[in-house]
């Protein structure tokens, strides 16, 4: 193996446009990108952008690390969603071809059951595995800080007093759920919780809330975990989030400023404005108001 090349970076790509945007920005900045595409998740467009691209089953962790080191990569980043529900289907782990390295690091989660399978537990184990192989993970937002939303009302319409109270109520709930590493989003109306995000993801949480609240006009609050590791699982919204809100009858989306990735922000805001929705980015804990 030759000496590490500081101009090269690895990208572990899950589902969505986020990995594509990160890869494009890395290449534009003069980096060589060697991409691990998670099977049944990563976009084929990455093969056209990156200097090296290979699809792996999510359990082929040893092979993934070898791929990066073979290309003299010692720094990497993660981007994109992994659908954990797909890992719970019958024989899912066999299809994702776990290798010996994977079993060696994850036997407590999948063989002995002595550790949980929460997102942070799993992702921290993966980063430790790669670090043991000489590859350090960095936050994807280090390479595209402009994707982090700034504080303020993004849309034409600002939340009214009732919606601001729902935001304050939902913020506390979402932070509590995040502290338990359950999910990042909650749906609220009239300071009552309609739905809490868990393994299904934000869009499904929104759709479930819509099914429970036929009157619509409810509020979605999405925040970072209280001790958010910025290397992975950062709150992310995009056009799909707005489409889910429109179809489900949600009216307001409150997100955490400087800690939430907004993909295609101009298009997201334009679509929200077209349908009379509100998007507000809040930096600190909001409080309920009486007038």
Residue 286 pLDDT: 83
Residue 87 has what pLDDT?
64
Question: SS in 3 state form for the chain?
Answer: CCCCCCCEEEEEECECCHHHHHHHHHHHCCCEEEEEEECCCCCCCHHHHCCEEEEECCCCHHHHHHHHHHCCCCEEEEECECCHHHHHCCCHHHHCCCCHHHHHHHHHHHCCCCCCCCHHHHHHHHHHHHHHCCCEECCHHHCCHHHECCCEECCCCCCCHHHHHHHHHHHHHHHHHHHCCCCCEEEEECCEEEEECCCCCHHHHHHHHHHHCCCCCEEEEECCCCCCCCCCCCCEECHHHHHHHHHHCEEEEEEECCCCEECCHHHHHHHHHHCCCEEEEECCCCCCCCC
Say yes or no to pLDDT of 141 above 60: yes
* Domain residue spans of the chain: 8-142, 148-282
pLDDT band (50, 70, 90) for residue 60? very high
CATH superfamily of 148-282: LpxI C-terminal catalytic domain (3.40.140.80)
pLDDT single digits (tens) 15-24: 999 999 999 9
- The pLDDT assigned to 291 comes to 57
Is the pLDDT assigned to residue 253 strictly greater than 60?
yes
Same topology for domains 8-142 and 148-282, yes or no?
A: no
Domain 8-142 part of CATH 3.40.50.20: yes
């Amino acid at each position: 193996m030759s000496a590490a090349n500081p101009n090269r970076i690895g990208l572990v790509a899950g589902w969505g446009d986020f990995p594509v945007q990160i890869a494009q920005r890395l290449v534009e900045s003069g980096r060589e990108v060697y991409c691990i595409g998670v099977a049944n998740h990563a976009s084929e467009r990455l093969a056209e952008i990156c200097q090296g691209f290979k699809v792996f089953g999510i359990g082929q962790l040893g092979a993934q690390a070898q791929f990066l080191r073979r290309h003299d990569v010692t720094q990497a980043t993660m981007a994109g969603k992994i659908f954990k529900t797909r890992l719970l289907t019958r024989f899912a782990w066999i299809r994702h071809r776990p290798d010996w390295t994977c079993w060696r690091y994850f036997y407590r989660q999948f063989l002995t059951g002595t550790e949980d399978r929460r997102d942070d537990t799993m992702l921290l184990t993966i980063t430790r595995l790669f670090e043991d192989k000489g590859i350090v993970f960095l936050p994807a937002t280090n390479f595209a800080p402009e994707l982090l939303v700034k504080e303020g009302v993004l849309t034409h319409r600002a939340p009214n007093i009732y919606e601001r109270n729902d935001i304050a109520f939902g913020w506390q709930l979402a932070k509590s759920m995040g502290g338990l590493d359950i999910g990042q989003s909650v749906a609220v109306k009239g300071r009552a919780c309609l739905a809490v995000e868990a393994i299904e993801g934000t869009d499904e949480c929104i759709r479930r809330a819509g099914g429970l609240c036929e009157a619509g006009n409810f509020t979605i609050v999405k925040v970072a975990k209280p001790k958010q590791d910025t290397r992975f699982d950062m709150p992310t919204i995009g056009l799909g989030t707005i489409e889910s809100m429109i179809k489900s009858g949600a009216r307001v989306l409150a997100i955490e400023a400087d800690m939430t990735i907004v993909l295609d922000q101009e298009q997201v805001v334009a679509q929200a404005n077209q349908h009379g929705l509100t998007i507000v980015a809040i930096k600190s804990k909001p409080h309920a108001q009486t007038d």
